Structure 1
Amino acid sequence: MTNAAFEGLLLAAGYGNAHAAFARQLNHAGRNEGAWRYDAASVYWWLRGRRPGDHVQAAMAETLARKLGRSVAVTELGFGTPDSIGMCVYPASVDGAIDTAEQIWTRLARHLNQQASGVFDSGKALEAALGWRYDLSDEAVSRNGRQQVTSTDVQSLYALAAHFTDLDRRHGSGSPRTRVVMADFLVRQVAPMLHGTYTDAVGRDLMRAAATLSGQLAFMSYDASEHAMAQHHATFGLRLAKAADDRLYGAHLLANLATQAVFLGHAREAARLVEAAIDGAGRAPAAVLARLHATAATAYGQSGERRACQRALAKAERALGRAGTDPGPRWVDYFSPAHLAGAALRCLGDLRMYRQALRHAPEALTLGSQNTRTRALHTALVATTHARAGDTDAACDWSRKLAQHCLDVESARVQQRLRELAIALSSQQSVPQVNEVLHSLAAMPAARKSGSAATHFG
C-alpha cells in the first residue's frame, strides 16, 4: 500500500521522479542530527508504509515546505502516530533500521500492560533473509552526532545483554516488566548512542551490540507469544548485524526466526530461513554450525521430511563434537549436548519415531541450573513423547516431575508444551492416574498464567 499523502506532496514539490534528490535535501535539512545517509531506496520504503522517526518527519516537512513555498505540517505526511507501525520490512539502510527500531522500542516501553497485536509474517521473514544474505555490505557506518561514543561505552551494552539473557533463561519472559525495562533502556541509552558520534570501527561494534540487545528482546517477545513484536526486533537486529559485518550473529537471528516459525507451524518457511542462515554463515565455527543444523532438523521434522531431518541431526552432532576445539562466539556457548538432544527429541517425535526420540531424553535433561525454562520445556516434551508413544505410565511419571520446574517460569512456550501434553493424555482421561495428572497440570502456575491453557486441561 502506497502512502498517498506523502506521494502527493513529493509530486507537488517536483520530487515525483527525483527521490534521490529529495533524499539529498533531506540529509542536508537534518545535518544537525548527524550524518544521515538516506537515499532513493529510503524514499521507496517510506512510500510503501515504513514510518520514519519524528525528527526525520520534521526535516521532511521542512524540505517540502521550501519547495512548495508554504508551511507543511508533519501530520500532512501521512505517517500516522508512533503507535501505528506498519509492516515488518527489512530496512534498506542503517539509518532506516535505527529510526524504525527506535519507534518499536518506544512503543514497547510505553505499553507495560498491553500485549502487542499482530501476527508473524513468514513472507516478510523470507524477504529479510534475502536482504541480509544478498544486499551489499555497508561501506561505512561512522557518524557525527550529538554525543561521543567510545569502545568502553559499547562494552557495557554487551554486559547488559548477558544479564537479560540470564534472566530470560532462568525465569522466562511471560511477565512484561523485564521486556519493558529492556526496551526503556534501548530508548533512553542505546538509541542516543546510535545517533551519536563514532568511528567506523566503534560504529560496527556498536551495531553488533545493538543487534545483540534487539535479538535478545526478540527472543523474549517470542517466549511471551508476542510474535509480531518479536519479528520486528529480530528483523532490525538482522539489519544491524549486517551493518556490523557480523554474518554469524545474523545467521543466529535468522535461525531464531526459523525457530519461531516452527513454533507457529510454518515449517517450510522455517526450513528456508535456516537454509539461508547456514548459507550466509559460510565456514562458521563448529558450535555455530551445530546450532544451525539442529534448528534445520526441527523444521524438517515438522514438515515430515525424514531424510533431511536425519541428515541435519547428523551434521549437528558432528559439528558439536568439534565444538571443543572450534567453540565460536560467546553467544553460542549456551548450545550444549542437552539442547541438541532436545531438538532431536522434538523433531523425531514429530516424525512419529518415538522410540528413537526417547533415546535422547536422558541427555536432553542434563542441563545447567541456569536453564530453568529449557528444563521445563524438555521435561514436558519427554512426557508428551511417552504419551504419544502409548506409554501412559511413563507419561504420568514425567508429568508429575513437571511442577518443580514450572514454579518460577513465566513462558508462553512452556504453556504451549503443557497444552500439548494435556491433549496427548486426554484420550486416556478416564484412567484415574491420567485424570489426576490432568488436574495437576491445570493447577500448575505456568498453566494458570494462561487463560486459554486451562480450557484444554481436565
Structure 2
Amino acid sequence: MARPVTNAAFDGLLTAAGYGNAHAAFARQLNHVGREQGAWRYDAASVYWWLRGRRPGEHVQEAMAETLARKLGRAVSAAELGFGVLASTGTCVYPASVDAAIDAAEQIWMTLAKHLNRQADGSFDSGKALQAALGWRYDLPDQAVIRRGRQKVTSSDVQSLYALADHFTDLDRRHGSGSPHTRAVMADLLVRQVGPMLRGTYTDAVGRELLRAAAVLAGQLAFMSYDAGDHSRAQHHVTLGMRLAKAGNDRLYGAHLLANLATQAVFLGHAREAARLAEAAIDGAGRAPAAVLARLHATAATAYGQAGERRACQLALNKAEHSLGRTGTESGPRWVGYFTPAHLAGAALRCLGDLHLYPQALRHAPDALTLGSQNTRTRALHTALIAMTHARAGDTDAACEWSRTLVQDAAAVQSVRVRQRLRELTTSLRMHRASPQLNEALLALSAAPAAT
C-alpha cells in the first residue's frame, strides 16, 4: 500500500509540469540537469520518497527547480518545492537518518569541490558537538541500509575506497592540509565516485561496508579541514562521518571521530567541552582494543590538561600508557595503526606542559620524536611543543636551539596548526630578556614559510 503524499507543493509542481504520472521522466531530466555535478542516478523511487517527506540536498533542489522551470516556462525557486529550509553547510546537525546523512554529505562535498578557497560560514559549535555525541551514543541503530539504485556496488568496490583514503591520509601527514586544492580534489572524487555508490544498489552487508568506508573518507576530509583552519566545515564533516559510522555499525571508528572532535575543541580552547566529548568517546567505545583505548585516553588527557584538572589528566595519561603497553597482544582496526608511543609522548608533552609540570613534560621529548619519515607534520608539531616547553620552563638556550630545528621541520608543511604553534612559541620567547641568540631565533621563526 502506497504511503500518502506529504509534500503537496512538490506534487502540484510535478502535475503542472506534466510529470504527475511520469516520475521516471522527471528523474531522467533531473539527472541530465545535474550531469555537471556527478553521475546522478535518481529514478521514480527517488521521486516517490521526495513526495513523502524525504529532503534532497540543496544542490539537488536547485536542479529540480531548473528542471521544472523549463517545462513550466517560468522561474521556479527552490523555496516553492516544499522541502522547507535545509541546514546550511555551516551548521553541524547530526542527521536523524542515513538518507539525511547521504544528502548532507553530497551537499557539503559539492560545495567544497566547487569553491576551492571559500571557508564555510560560522565557527566551531561546542553545543552542536555535544548534541552529535548524544545522537551517536544513544540513538537506536539503523535496522537496514539496503538500497536499490542504478549502480550495483560490491564488496570489492568498497575496498577501493580504503585505498583512496590511504592516499589522502599519506598526503596529509607528509605535507599538511593548508592547500585548499588537495581538499577540493578529494571532495570532487567523493562527489563523482562515492556519492553515486551511496545511492546505488547494495545488500545490507555491502551497504554497512560502504557506509564504514564513506565514514573513513569523511573523517579524513574533516581532519584535513581542521588542519587547514576551516573549523566549521571540519565539524560538519566529522559529524557526518560519525553518523555514517553508526549506520555502518562501526562503533570504534565513530568513537575515534568523536575524539577528533574533542581534539579540535582543545585546539580552539573549549577544554571542558572537549573533556566531555572525549569521555563520551571512551564510553561509546566500550571494550575496545588497547590501541583504540590508548588513543581515546590520550585525547582525554589533553582536554583535562588544558582545563587545569591535574588529577583527571594524570589518570587519563596513566590509562593511555597502560593501554598502549598492551597493544602487542591485541590487534586493533587498521586506522588506529598511526597511534604510536611517539603520539602518546606528544600528548603527554602537551597536557603536562599545560599543567606547568615542565620537567615531567620534557621527559617525554625524546619519545615524541621517534616518528616515521611520513609523519612530517607531527614532527613539526612535537618539535614546537618541545621548544615551547623549554621556553616556558625558562631555558631559553634550549628553546632557541629547538626553534632552529622547528624552522627546518616546518618548511615542508602547510598547516594552520603548525603556524599556530610557531606563533605560540614566538610569544613565549618574547617574554624573556633579549639576547643575540634569542633575537636570532625570533628572526628565524618570523621568516619561516609556515609562519606566513
Amino acid at match of 1:332: V
Note the residue ranges of structure 1 that are not aligned, 5 or more in a row.
1-8, 15-25, 63-70, 449-458
Residue of structure 2 equivalent to 1:143: 147
Aligned position for 1:340: 344
Counterpart among 33, 44, 47 of residue 32 in structure 1 = 44
Aligned to 1:234: 238
Could you tell me which amino acid in structure 1 is paired with residue 212 of structure 2? R
The 3-state SS of whatever aligns with 2:328 is coil
Instruction: Count how many residue pairs are aligned between Structure 1 and Structure 2.
Output: 417
**1:76 alignment partner in structure 2:** 80
Out of 83-92 and 159-168, give the one that drifted further: 83-92
| Structure 2 residue 230 is the aligned partner of structure 1 residue 222 | no
**Does 1:309 find its partner at 2:321?**
no
Per the alignment, residue 382 of structure 2 pairs with 378
Paired letter, 1:171: H
CA contact 1:33–1:195 (8 Å) conserved in 2: no
Shift of 1:427: 1.7
Conserved 8 A contact 1:34-1:146:
no
Q: Partner residue of 2:205?
A: 201
2:109 maps to 1:97: no
Q: Return the letter of the residue paired with 2:160.
A: S
What's the counterpart of residue 256 of structure 2?
A: 252
Q: Among residues 328, 333, 355, which one is paired with 1:324 in the alignment?
A: 328
What is the rounded CA distance, in whole Å, between the counterparts of 1:78 and 1:12 in structure 2?
A: 5
Which residue does the alignment assign to 2:177? 173
- Assess, with a 3 A threshold, how the Cα gap between structure 1 residues 117 and 250 changes in structure 2: closer, same or farther: same
CA distance in 2, matches of 1:36, 1:12: 14
- Residue 416 of structure 2 is matched in structure 1 by 412
How far, CA to CA, are the matches of 2:203 and 2:9 in structure 1? 39
Distance (Å, rounded) in 2 between the aligned partners of 1:219 and 1:328? 21
Separation in 2, partners of 1:36, 1:153: 28
* Alpha-carbon distance change, 100 to 146 in structure 1, aligned in 2, over 3 angstroms: same
Asked whether 1:192 is paired with 2:196, we answer: yes
Partner of 2:31 in structure 1?
Answer: none
SS at match of 2:118: coil
Q: CA RMSD in A?
A: 3.0
Verify the 8 A CA contact 2:153 2:200 in the aligned structure 1.
yes
- Candidates 283, 288, 298, aligned match of 1:284: 288
CA distance in 1, matches of 2:381, 2:62: 45
Shift of 1:428: 2.3
Instruction: Name the structure 1 match of 2:20.
Output: none
| CA shift for structure 1 position 53 | 4.4
SS of 2:144 mapped into structure 1: coil
Q: Is the 8 A contact 1:247 1:280 kept in 2?
A: yes
Contact 2:9 / 2:81 at 8 angstroms: preserved in 1?
no
Q: Is the 8 A contact 1:34 1:195 kept in 2?
A: no
TM-score of the pair, normalised by structure 2: 0.86
Task: Specify whether residues 95 and 89 from structure 1 end up closer, same or farther in structure 2 by C-alpha distance, changes over 3 A only.
Answer: same
CA distance in structure 2 between the partners assigned to 1:38 and 1:388 by the alignment = 59
Task: Work out whether residues 161 and 216 of structure 1, in 8 Å CA contact, stay in contact via their aligned partners in 2.
Answer: yes
Task: Encode CA deviations 1:296-341: one digit per residue, 9 max, x unaligned.
Answer: 0000000000000000000000000001111300000000000000
Letter in 2 for 1:250: G
1:432 is displaced (CA, Å) by 1.6
Report the secondary structure of 1:91's partner residue: coil
The alignment partner of 2:329 has SS state of coil
Tell me what 2:32 maps to: none
| Cα separation, partners in 2 of 1:78 and 1:404, compared to 1, 3 Å | farther
Match of 1:211 in 2: 215
Map of 1:395 onto structure 2 = 399
